[in-house]
Amino acid sequence: QAVLTQPPSASGTPGQRVTISCSGSSSNIESNYVYWYQQLPGTAPQLLIYRNNQRPSGVPGRFSGSKSGTSASLAISGLRSEDEADYYCAAWDDSLRVVFGGGTKLTVL
């Protein structure tokens, strides 16, 4: 069972804005950075958002991250068909380990 809680699924139509939540605790999200990973079908995950709200070079500005207290969110605006993927949140936990969310499968209708 994953330490961070994400909804198992999310969906939207092209052009829409969707958000994916990630809930944790004082020992992980509240006290450490949050990261988001995108896993396209059949591929390895890739870093999408780092240190709560920073985008690596090459990641479109349509993707944004935020954090408040023990929760974090990933927002995708102007949804595109190629955004259909699994999304995972992650954070360092003060018990000296990396913890992941269970993943959210995003479907573009």
Q: Which residues bind other proteins (CB under 8 A)?
A: 2, 32-33, 35, 37, 43-47, 50-51, 56, 88, 90-92, 96-103
Cα separation, 11 vs 105, in Å, equals 8
Closer residue to other proteins, CB minimum distance, 14 or 60: 60
Measured from the CB atom, the residue of 2 and 14 that comes closer to other proteins is 2
Q: How many CB atoms lie within 10 A of CB 59?
A: 17
Compute the distance between CA of residue 99 and CA of residue 25 in angstroms, rounded to an integer.
11
Backbone angles phi, psi at 83, to 5 degrees: -85, -5
CA–CA distance, 40 with 13 (Å, rounded to integer): 18
Q: How far is the CB of 102 from other proteins (least distance, A)?
A: 5
Q: How far is the CB of 98 from other proteins (least distance, A)?
A: 4
Q: Which is nearer to other proteins, 79 or 90 (CB)?
A: 90
**Nearest approach, Cβ of 13 to other proteins (angstroms)?**
26
